[in-house]
Structure 1
Amino acid sequence: MTVHLHVITGGPGSGKSRLIEALAAEGLAHMPEAGRAIIQQQVAIGGAALPWADRMAFAELMLGWELRSHQEARERGVPVILDRGIPDVIGYLQVCGLPVPHHLWKAAELFRYNRRVFIAPHWPEIFQQDVERKQDSVEAEATHRSMVDVYTRLGYELLPLPRTSIPERVRFVRANLP
């Protein structure tokens, strides 16, 4: 386990990315989310590894992204906030009803994060769909439940983020970093 790697996870539209942007603005190192970047890249090149086209290919690209993010963050040697982690790829496949390949479980077991993982609860009042986020609120809530299941199964301690303002969430995260 790498204690200086801090994951923030949860379902889509729960305020994770805005929180991470605010933490970064305060000087905390961070790694971006895989999903949005992969979608943008695949759309730009006319690729099919998209959640609405080839979900398994999309998951494999996310796994590659998360492995690279883990390595880069580990090499920094300072606290790093990660917008999701390898277990999120497992959760994604579970929500899609797809089988989780053995190598993905192996990656989640080998490439660990700080034991305490911040999880943003489903928050219907702020949930919004957009060009890359096509999931509806029901799927967003199912994603949250799947993240709880996967991270718990992998032995992480989940620390729910409060449903409050970004500055208050920033204070909460900072207060709970080692």
Structure 2
Amino acid sequence: MSDRFIVLSGCSGGGKSTLLEELSRRGHATVEEPGRRIVQEELAKDGTALPWLDLAAFVRRAIAMALADREAMRDQPGLIFFDRGWVDAAAALEAHTGEPVLATLAAQHRYNTKVFLTPPWPEIYAGDAERRHGLEAALAEYARLETGYPALGYETIILPKVPVAERADFVLARL
């Protein structure tokens, strides 16, 4: 099952969601980023599990949502592309609280061993109502993921800074 689960991770604002849309357009199953969905839900109900209000609650919820996404896609045929995975949220939780969750989850909830990372791309980075952190925070996040995934036995593949169709071709050629 996990070989079909492909993670697109990396720097915030690096083009993951755009790439996910292109892969969906090409007929692949996709799963949107847990963090964005959580922020949208919390803002709609005036909640507090937001990264700028309660980061620990936010990332715990993102871990749970990412694990539920994996389970929900278990019977979906073919490759499934995830805009981030539980590793992203667990790395943030460990950095924020020191809680050792990565190793605990790593053995049971694997993705394909190839993880595609969007590198920092300041020229396209943009904040919005759901992404309120700046590029500096995005760079720190990227550094955690760049070391976190390999520490769990994943091969990270840095995506080139090219138009989205070429990025999709790049991903599919490496799978």
TM-score for both structures, normalised by structure 2: 0.94
Give me the whole-angstrom Cα distance separating, in 2, the residues matched to 1:75 and 1:154: 25
For 2:41, the aligned partner's letter is Q
Q: Counterpart of 1:143?
A: 141
1:173 aligns with 171
CA deviation map 1:93-122 (0-9, x unaligned)? 35xx41243445312331000001111101
Mapping for residues 148-167 of structure 1, pairs under 5 Å:
148-167=146-165
Uncovered stretches (5+) of structure 1, i.e. residues with no partner = none
1:110 corresponds to which residue? 108
- Residue of structure 2 in register with 1:46 after alignment: 46
Q: Distance in 1 between matches of 2:156 and 2:10?
A: 10
Q: In the alignment, which residue of structure 1 is the partner of 2:73?
A: 73
Aligned to 1:87: 87
CA distance in 2, matches of 1:103, 1:153: 13
User: Are the aligned partners of 1:2 and 1:114 in contact in 2 as well (CA < 8 Å)?
Assistant: yes
SS at match of 1:98: helix
Change (3 A) 1:110 1:138: same
What do residues 136-178 of structure 1 show as CA deviations (whole Å, max 9, x unaligned)? 111111111111111011010001100111111011011112x
Deviation at 1:23, TM superposition (A): 0.7
Tell me if the contact between 2:42 and 2:50 (Cα under 8 Å) persists in the aligned partners.
yes
Tell me the secondary structure at the aligned position of residue 3 of structure 2: coil
The structure 1 residue matched to 2:119, chosen from 121, 126, 133, is: 121
Q: Secondary structure at the match of 1:9?
A: strand
Asked if the contact 2:28/2:79 (under 8 Å) is kept, the reply is: yes
- The one-letter code matched in structure 2 to 1:108 is A
CA RMSD in angstroms comes to 1.4
Mapped contact 1:23–1:170 kept (Cα < 8 A): yes
